[in-house]
Structure 1
Amino acid sequence: MKQFVFFILIVSSQAIPRRVSKTYRNDYTYNRKSDAFYKLHIEATDQQKASRVCQEEGAVLMIPTSHIDIVQFHEMYKQFPDLDNYVWVGDDKAQHESAEEQAIIVYDEEETTRYSPPWIRDCNVVTRHGDVEKYTCTNSLPFICKVDANQAPYDDACGVYGFGYEYVSNIGSCYKIPRLAYSWNQAYAECRSQGAHLVVLNSKAEHDAVLQIMKKTRLLPDSYMPYYYIAGYRAAVSTDGSPRVFKTIFNQTIAEAGYSKWADTEPNNVGGNENCGSLFEGDGNLNDQECAKRYGFICEKEKNS
């Protein structure tokens, strides 16, 4: 009797297929049917920057090639009923109707033509109803990124879901400066989504290594001030006039972290709201800046963590 029951349990467990879920960045959603990861960006931007953000995340603008893609998009977008009716997607090379009314120039009573200036392009959007249409590329819209699971980048050496990290052996950390300009909160989230964190300097040797990485990096044209890079420091807003205390993202004071040298005349708290930290590309030292303004940023991942 025991043998018979044991046999039934084995058959039952083998009859149930395993539901395998794969892992990528913590801000991407896995769809088992398409074997791909998706991320909906609700912040609006033009099509060119949307494409650049997806690429920086190891993905591309989603090209809706199947019903599964449309269903996945709908499941994500219906959570935001107040957003625009259109979302940037990738170019499927097919002809689509325009989502915008075209300007009409009348030459005579017999003839009309639709006019579009040569510098204006149309790019693909998907509507809430799942229709693919055309929209002027310079408009600002939300967008959706996609990467197939077998193409999702993972850096085994550094242990991050991303690419372009540089390992510095005498420090034991990997570093990357993404080609994006973000606010402090956005930069913090972006590094974490890859399995890394905003850079924190723990020694003069690390300062020297990060300074060299900054100096060889091309400046970001869309950064508020391209000579500064967001780092993992922040001060609580003072409400009683007491001095600000900058701490790292690990809740250490700067002195406890191991490197506490500020750039000349810093921290100066210009405007009374520079409560986030950055590194100055000129000397690699600390600077205070406004948290909401967009700068380049540096992600760090300790190799053995």
Structure 2
Amino acid sequence: MLFVEVILVLLGISLCLSEEDSQKTPFFRKDYKYFKEFNAFYKVHSLGKNWSDALTTCQNEGAELIVPSTKEEFDKILEYSQQYFLWIGAHDIFSEGVFITTQGKPLSEFYLKWKQGEPNNVNNNENCLIMEKKGYTDLPCTHIRKYVCKRSTFNLTQNEICETYDLDYTYSSDTDRCYKIHTTPLTWNQAFTSCISEESSLVTINSDAEAKILTKMFAQHPEKSLKGNFNKAEIHIGFNDLLSEGIYLSIDGMSLKESGYDNWSSGQPDNYQGKEHCGSMFRDGTLNDIECSARAMFVCEKTLTTMQNTPLKLSTLSKLPDEQ
């Protein structure tokens, strides 16, 4: 009898915990707002961009350029953004008059409300869409407009210890930080922007221990395993002398010595041909100056808001909240 009572108590605790988990607000990013009625997160970008750059920004943030699914969502986004004209993630770039979303779905599967007289493809140059109170309008994709990014909770991953949705970030107890190596090569400036879009920063080396972490990460991608024409011997690091020639500062404004690591490779920095103003690290952990336009792999790092001393927690929301 006692055994049965213990089992019932444990089942009761399990049910309570399950109920708490189901009611817990999912996490995506700190700069996105969650709307429970749409099971999604949203972010208003008040700095206008052309359609392609707006799309790229949303994708870099792990989201998508919004296409309202319902009239309720359409109205809510206009109210939330307090904007009159917003890019949406739909176009007819592939075939004139055939409007699809950036996921390749017909726009007709979503909320569809054309402004009177639209689409009209003025000068045969209007292939991207904006939303306004009166409906959708086609415009040249090069126009500058504000936009909203959206991330559904469906299949949303949770990397709790690294405080992100991105499972590619891994935690190091040596530095109490999380790291992600990007194997798609970018320029230094693009790498800097890419890390910012992930709510992290282009890595700055603060100790010998951190240098070892990076060299181990880099070693997992030998030069022979990398395809494409780019610098495979170095990774971009968060320092430069762009503000003052020869004075190398980390992206947070400190000298390399103040940052805790200034182990230059022999003969470096040399500002070869007067073109090297950005920072990199060789596979042996030593530093180098590199052309900012050079394409290379890079590492983003996350400084956590709380100290961590628990095992890595990873989970996936494979169902919509109302299905759990």
Question: Normalising by structure 2, what TM-score?
Answer: 0.56
Aligned residue in 2 for 1:214: 218
State percent identity of aligned pairs.
28
Kindly indicate whether residue 297 of structure 2 is the aligned counterpart of residue 296 of structure 1. yes
Q: Aligned partners of 1:93, 1:70: CA distance in 2, in Å?
A: 17
Aligned residue in 2 for 1:246: 248
Kindly indicate whether residue 238 of structure 2 is the aligned counterpart of residue 232 of structure 1. yes
Query: For the Cα contact (< 8 Å) 2:207–2:260, is it kept in 1?
Result: yes
Q: Aligned partners of 1:185, 1:250: CA distance in 2, in Å?
A: 15
Q: Aligned partners of 1:91, 1:162: CA distance in 2, in Å?
A: 24
Report the number of matched residues. Answer: 254
What does 1:41-80 correspond to in 2, within 5 Å?
Answer: 57-60=61-64, 62-70=66-74, 72=77
Q: Aligned partners of 2:104, 2:88: CA distance in 1, in Å?
A: 20
Q: Any stretches of 5+ residues in structure 2 without a counterpart?
A: 1-24, 92-100, 113-117, 309-324
Aligned residue in 1 for 2:281: 279
> What letter corresponds to residue 162 of structure 2 in structure 1?
C
Query: For the Cα contact (< 8 Å) 2:239–2:248, is it kept in 1?
Result: yes
Equivalent in 162, 171, 175 of residue 167 of structure 1? 171
Q: Secondary structure at the match of 2:192?
A: helix
Kindly indicate whether residue 270 of structure 2 is the aligned counterpart of residue 268 of structure 1. yes
Kindly indicate whether residue 160 of structure 2 is the aligned counterpart of residue 156 of structure 1. yes
> What letter corresponds to residue 201 of structure 1 in structure 2?
I
Compute the displacement of 1:34 (Å).
Answer: 3.2
Compute the displacement of 1:226 (Å).
Answer: 4.7
The structure with the greater share of residues assigned to strand is 2
Question: Normalising by structure 1, what TM-score?
Answer: 0.59
Query: For the Cα contact (< 8 Å) 1:201–1:207, is it kept in 2?
Result: yes
Q: Secondary structure at the match of 2:231?
A: coil
Query: For the Cα contact (< 8 Å) 1:235–1:247, is it kept in 2?
Result: yes
Compute the displacement of 1:258 (Å).
Answer: 2.5
Kindly indicate whether residue 91 of structure 2 is the aligned counterpart of residue 89 of structure 1. no
Aligned residue in 2 for 1:36: 40
Compute the displacement of 1:151 (Å).
Answer: 5.5
Query: For the Cα contact (< 8 Å) 1:46–1:141, is it kept in 2?
Result: no
Compute the displacement of 1:267 (Å).
Answer: 1.9
Q: Any stretches of 5+ residues in structure 1 without a counterpart?
A: 1-20, 102-123
- Cα 1:296–1:189 shift into 2, 3 Å: same
Compute the displacement of 1:213 (Å).
Answer: 0.8
Compute the displacement of 1:61 (Å).
Answer: 5.0
- Cα 1:60–1:301 shift into 2, 3 Å: same
Q: Aligned partners of 2:215, 2:85: CA distance in 1, in Å?
A: 41
Q: Aligned partners of 1:144, 1:232: CA distance in 2, in Å?
A: 29
Compute the displacement of 1:36 (Å).
Answer: 2.4
Note the alpha carbon deviations across 1:148-206, whole angstroms, 9 max, x for none.
Answer: 25765442112335331122334433210245555545543543454433212222232
Q: Aligned partners of 2:281, 2:78: CA distance in 1, in Å?
A: 38
> What letter corresponds to residue 89 of structure 1 in structure 2?
T
- Cα 1:286–1:32 shift into 2, 3 Å: same
Equivalent in 111, 126, 129 of residue 129 of structure 2? 126
